[in-house]
Amino acid sequence: MKEQASFCISIDCELAWGVHEQISHKFIEKTLELDEKICFDLLSIFNEFDINATWAIVAGMLDKNNPMIKNYNPKAWYNPKIIEKIQNSKQYQEIASHSYAHPNFINFSEKEIEEDFQKAEYFFNNYGIKINTFIFPRNKIRYLNLLNKYGIKIYRGLDKSFYKKVYKYNKLLGKFANILDKTVPLSANSVSPIISLHHLIELQSSLLFISRNGYKKIITEYSIFSKAKKAIDNAIKNKECFHLWFHPSNFYYNTESQFLLLKKILEYVNLNRKRGFITVNTVDKYIS
């Protein structure tokens, strides 16, 4: 993949599964009101801009008897319509796994996580989906051996940005550094696939398409766009990949302006694509 610069998007598609350990009613209300529509609107945007993206799905969303179904509202945990729409999209979209029940791998034994893999495989199989790509819940990378055992070839690594390094050292400082990282329009990093353990490939991410509500309002559209634009330029210069990622929930607030900002980034990608400088890939295309 060294010969050509590339762009890819990965989406953690999980309804309310990201908050299942600590239920937030405010978040779930937003999920019920907006999540499906945001997924559908993203698909329309991808069709409009000829973008192939990777959707990492929590397989519990395909199980009408999943363990969360009785909490609050079943629609916060179960919605196969989203996957069906992704599968039938005019522009090809990759379906990846984001586990069955979004467990934090750090808190569970290998045996417990293997059960999660088995369930995920069962429900993806029911939809005729073969999984090549895995995105770890909460980006907690562990049990790479299980990925290999369940036929997965590639996973998303951590953000290649300075705030992640600070975060490792101190969580509060890390949060501050994340805001600083997004506020100051320095370039995000371009990435290259890395050979990992157990015959796997790791593809780090370059930039989180961050929500802009509450204290994050200080992050301007200008700073995000400049960061992305510079990163695309860098990817072209270095013949690397600019890997953008987000959750549908990153569009829960200021939805319209978030969509406009995403479109602006895609427009810049397409401008360079027309010139033959960059290609657009799903994550599975980085499997060597």
Q: What is the DSSP letter of 164?
A: H
Interatomic CA distance for residues 5 and 2, integer angstroms: 7
Calculate the alpha carbon distances from 165 to 174, 181, 235, 246 in Å. 8, 12, 21, 20
Size of the site for Zn ion (CB under 5 A): 4
Q: Which residue in 9, 10, 12, 62 binds Zn ion (CB under 5 A)?
A: 12
Q: Binding to Zn ion by residue 35, rule CB under 5 A?
A: no
User: What's the closest the beta carbon of residue 228 comes to Zn ion, in angstroms?
Assistant: 22
Q: Binding to Zn ion by residue 18, rule CB under 5 A?
A: yes
Please say which residue, 139 or 234, places its beta carbon nearer to Zn ion.
139
Interatomic CA distance for residues 72 and 64, integer angstroms: 15
Q: Where does the chain show beta strands of DSSP type E?
A: 5-13, 54-57, 94-97, 133-134, 154-159, 194-195, 201-205, 207-208, 241-246, 278-281
Taking CB under 5 A as the binding criterion, the range among 17-25, 85-93, 191-199, 200-208 that sits at the site for Zn ion is 17-25
Q: Per-residue contact track with Zn ion, 112 to 151, x per CB under 5 A?
A: -------------------------x--------------
- CB nearest Zn ion: which residue? 12
Taking CB under 5 A as the binding criterion, the range among 4-12, 113-121, 211-219, 270-278 that sits at the site for Zn ion is 4-12
User: What's the closest the beta carbon of residue 113 comes to Zn ion, in angstroms?
Assistant: 15
- For the four alpha carbons of 112, 114, 117 and 122, in that order, the dihedral sign comes to negative
Q: Which residues bind Zn ion (CB under 5 A)?
A: 12, 14, 18, 137
